[in-house]
Amino acid sequence: MTTQAGSHKWHAALLAAAVIAVPAWAQTTNNAPQEARATAAAPSARPWMTAKSDPSERATLLLKEMTLAEKLHLVFGYFPSKAEWQRSPIKNWESHPGSLPDSAGFVPGIERLGIPAQWQTDAGIGVASPRTPTPRLRTALPSGIATAATWNPALAETGGAMIGREAFLSGFNVLLAGGMNLVREPRNGRNFEYSGEDPLLSGVITGRQIKGVQSQHVISTMKHFAFNGQETNRFIMDHRIGEQAARQSDLLAFEIAHEVGQPGAVMCAYNRVNGAYACESDWLLNQVLKRDWGFKGYVMTDWGAGHSTTQAAQAGLDQESGWAFDRSPYFGDALREAVNNGHVSPARVDDMARRILWAMFANGLFDHPVAGDRAETIDYAAHAAVARADAEEAIVLLKNDRQLLPLAKSVRNVLIVGAHADVGVLSGGGSSQVYGRGAPPDGLVVADEYGKGFPGPKVYHPSSPLKALQARTTARVTYLDGKDVKAAAAAARGADVVIVFAEQWTAESLDVPDLSLPDQQDALIDAVARANANTVVVLQTGGPVLMPWLPKVGATLQAWYSGTSGGDAIARVLTGEVNPSGRLPVTFPASVQQLPRPVVEGDAALDRDAHPLSNYDIEGAAVGYKWFDKTGAKPLFPFGYGLSYSEFAMKGLSVAPAGQGLTARFTVTNRGSRAGKTVAHIYVAGAGWEAPRRLGGFTKVSLAPGESTTAEVTIDPRLLATFDTATRTWRIAGGDYRVMLASSAALTLETATVHLDARTVEPRKH
């Protein structure tokens, strides 16, 4: 028996070896008896092209016509950017005809069946370019965390539609957007690409962004699935977390984004989770994503996150992206071999191809094919306005003593210091890098300060806060670069107001070592604030930073990375043309000692074969403000915090059952003399949860001076429940629950108590 089975395997291996000499997609069907024979279909004989039918039916009809080779063709991606200016030399790099130059990825189409190619580009804030001598120049939204700071889902969707449109008109039909990983590690170099620390806020904001992108006949990803919480050892780190904590934190964020955005694709992460690579995790991909959430699209690897053929295929991976980043072309000929050997069933390959086709049909890739690069037809003026609206609502006013802001009409002399604010605003680095419109051909308005290689260059968008302010005030506005601290302090003495632009560049692949502003900027701010109490600090950071100078300055604005209209947005907030309405989507700690991990875990010196562990069960689902609540630590600024030039009152909370959850109603009044927007938060508290309370819902309200409105917030039943891992259901325990109307995680205004009977939350219909 043993010999027979062995010889059968040996025979199959020989057969497969003969097959792999020719690329998979060039094979005839003769070697694979299980395949349907291809029929040369005239366009009229393509029933799947009936746009009115359901995407699943269309995918099934088309799949029937496909050979195994053609199915395999769909699951294997190339990296088309030129090798010489890539991250580090890529061993297996090859150019690919039909791809778009300097793009993130490419999967060739199948002409015989009219299947379009997949032209992939990064990322979440616009059409990115890798580092090249002549990158694409496009509109950049503010960073993902900035959009989360708007607490305005409609803006997130409009922004998504804008970048989706630019992707489409640039010749792309897959946008590697939808970045989200809860901020467990405030030093994570990619927090700027994500949407904060709370599952509801993050899920809704990213979900709406994905929805916007996909309204433009472009598939959006949702990434990086999951627990890709830091960059140190990102390729190898094994994040350990119990299932209940996982479901109630990062996975809940993804679950909500999936429901809201219906992404065509999910990008599995580099890291390991509970022992398995995320792209080989049966639990994450097959069980959670596909079975429990009913995800109909496909799972693609992050670039270099593929590690196997059979194991990954069985775990639920559907497509290998940019294969040159992997050690081997796992979903190339090796997958065909695995099918021929019986290690991967033809049904699994059908499932992969069907999922990809479903996403392509559902998002209009067949019915509205991209027509190459038509970037000259982009309405950049309209897009700049979208980016500006997002940037404006993202700005968080953290401090405003003596009403230093908005700048008074009587101010005659303003000094701006630092961060190249004379020419532009900073952006975050790495694969998501968009080079801004209006920049010189190399995309750089400031000579790169990072150095060669990935994740550089350090890019400033050509949107000068200095010029934008000069255009809006009769005051004299001058600029100093701030490199000479003494000179800056001396100049500050003669100014009515000093505005220090402080920056922290964060980028993919690098965590920041601590939460301090780099390059002695704390000393600069301190010296300037000592010289002039009318000092305003504008922070351009990827996430939270410490502010040892805070008591000395008059005002502080968190502007994040504000995108290609950032200079205007900041100036409009400084002058009061725009009333700030951003709220922190992440807690700003007072010190790293308050964090679950005072030091970033891992060791950058480890090689790709190491297997470091990180224990996410320290905080479990108590991420961010929940951790602070639970430990009683007082942050520098709490989650949800933000001031306004106006004053708002919220009261009259009443709570009633609604569907499976609750509805909270209350009144919001603008008691100030300026029109403005505020955010009402509803927190909920129940027994046996990961932390004293959770954000249950929120709404952003816009009010004229003196105006009042009744606001309504619905609370998702999952936020009143805990996840029962045995039955895989959300269960609400019987008892009294507190529902709190609040203006941040630290300021509760009113509390109501409701009794809920014990029950299981009915799962959503897929």
For the bound state, the minimum distance from the C-beta of residue 82 to ligand BGC, rounded and expressed in Å, comes to: 14
Rg (C-alpha) for the chain, rounded Å, is: 26
For the bound state, the minimum distance from the C-beta of residue 431 to ligand BGC, rounded and expressed in Å, comes to: 4
The residue with tokens 């792309």 is 172
Cβ-based nearer residue to ligand BGC, 194 or 641: 194
Strand bridging mode 413-417 / 497-503: parallel
CA distance 273 to 227: 7
Cβ-based nearer residue to ligand BGC, 103 or 699: 103
**Rounded (to 5) percent helix, strand, coil in the chain:** 30, 20, 45
Contact 580, 396 (CB under 8 A): yes
Q: Among residues 474, 470, 388, 463, which one has the least CA distance to residue 420?
A: 463
Q: Among residues 316, 214, 322, 229, which one has the least CA distance to residue 272?
A: 229
CA distance 464 to 568: 7
Contact 176, 121 (CB under 8 A): yes
> Which secondary-structure segment (H or E) carries 651?
strand 648-658
For the bound state, the minimum distance from the C-beta of residue 143 to ligand BGC, rounded and expressed in Å, comes to: 14
> b/e for 621-656, b at 16 or more Cβ within 10 A?
bbbbbbbbbbeeeebbbbbbbbbbbbebebeebebe
CA distance 705 to 691: 37
Cβ-based nearer residue to ligand BGC, 322 or 580: 322
C-alpha pair distances (Å), 308 with each of 277, 313, 393:
10, 8, 44
For the bound state, the minimum distance from the C-beta of residue 177 to ligand BGC, rounded and expressed in Å, comes to: 9
For the bound state, the minimum distance from the C-beta of residue 81 to ligand BGC, rounded and expressed in Å, comes to: 9
Cβ-based nearer residue to ligand BGC, 302 or 337: 302
For the bound state, the minimum distance from the C-beta of residue 602 to ligand BGC, rounded and expressed in Å, comes to: 17
For the bound state, the minimum distance from the C-beta of residue 158 to ligand BGC, rounded and expressed in Å, comes to: 22
CA distance 307 to 277: 8
The residues that bridge with 712 in the sheet, in sequence order, are 665
CA geometry: angle 657, 660, 665, nearest 5 deg:
35
CA distance 339 to 60: 20
The residue ranges that bind ligand BGC (CB under 6 A) are 104, 122-123, 176, 223, 302-303, 431
For the bound state, the minimum distance from the C-beta of residue 576 to ligand BGC, rounded and expressed in Å, comes to: 38
The span from the first CA to the last CA of the chain, in angstroms, equals 46
Cβ-based nearer residue to ligand BGC, 235 or 501: 235
Q: Among residues 106, 82, 78, which one has the least CA distance to residue 173?
A: 106
> Which secondary-structure segment (H or E) carries 679?
strand 676-685
> b/e for 63-78, b at 16 or more Cβ within 10 A?
bebbbbbbbbbbbbbb
Cβ-based nearer residue to ligand BGC, 227 or 303: 303
Contact 385, 427 (CB under 8 A): no
For the bound state, the minimum distance from the C-beta of residue 638 to ligand BGC, rounded and expressed in Å, comes to: 30
For the bound state, the minimum distance from the C-beta of residue 550 to ligand BGC, rounded and expressed in Å, comes to: 34
Cβ-based nearer residue to ligand BGC, 65 or 122: 122
Contact 515, 545 (CB under 8 A): yes
Cβ-based nearer residue to ligand BGC, 433 or 644: 433
Q: Among residues 727, 730, 749, which one has the least CA distance to residue 739?
A: 749
Q: What three-state secondary structure class fits 656?
A: strand
Q: What is the 3-state secondary structure (H, E, C) of 216-247?
A: CCCEEEEEEECCCCCCCCCCCCEEECCHHHHH
For the bound state, the minimum distance from the C-beta of residue 223 to ligand BGC, rounded and expressed in Å, comes to: 6
Cβ-based nearer residue to ligand BGC, 430 or 717: 430
Q: How far is CA 430 from the centre of its chain?
A: 13
CA geometry: angle 635, 637, 642, nearest 5 deg:
160
For the bound state, the minimum distance from the C-beta of residue 482 to ligand BGC, rounded and expressed in Å, comes to: 33
Cβ-based nearer residue to ligand BGC, 104 or 226: 104
Torsion of CA 64, 67, 71, 76, to 10 degrees: -170
For the bound state, the minimum distance from the C-beta of residue 506 to ligand BGC, rounded and expressed in Å, comes to: 14
Cβ-based nearer residue to ligand BGC, 71 or 223: 223
Cβ-based nearer residue to ligand BGC, 139 or 431: 431
Cβ-based nearer residue to ligand BGC, 128 or 395: 128
Cβ-based nearer residue to ligand BGC, 77 or 196: 77
CA distance 483 to 21: 61
Which amino acid, one-letter code, is at 670?
N
Strand bridging mode 661-670 / 648-658: antiparallel
For the bound state, the minimum distance from the C-beta of residue 322 to ligand BGC, rounded and expressed in Å, comes to: 6
C-alpha pair distances (Å), 647 with each of 83, 209, 396, 409, 557:
55, 30, 15, 21, 17
What's the chain's length in residues? 766
For the bound state, the minimum distance from the C-beta of residue 219 to ligand BGC, rounded and expressed in Å, comes to: 13
Half-sphere exposure of 531 (CA within 13 A, CB side): 24
For the bound state, the minimum distance from the C-beta of residue 122 to ligand BGC, rounded and expressed in Å, comes to: 5
Cβ-based nearer residue to ligand BGC, 176 or 662: 176
Cβ-based nearer residue to ligand BGC, 272 or 718: 272
CA distance 232 to 507: 12
Cβ-based nearer residue to ligand BGC, 269 or 370: 269
Cβ-based nearer residue to ligand BGC, 234 or 677: 234
For the bound state, the minimum distance from the C-beta of residue 603 to ligand BGC, rounded and expressed in Å, comes to: 20
CA distance 248 to 198: 10
For the bound state, the minimum distance from the C-beta of residue 360 to ligand BGC, rounded and expressed in Å, comes to: 19
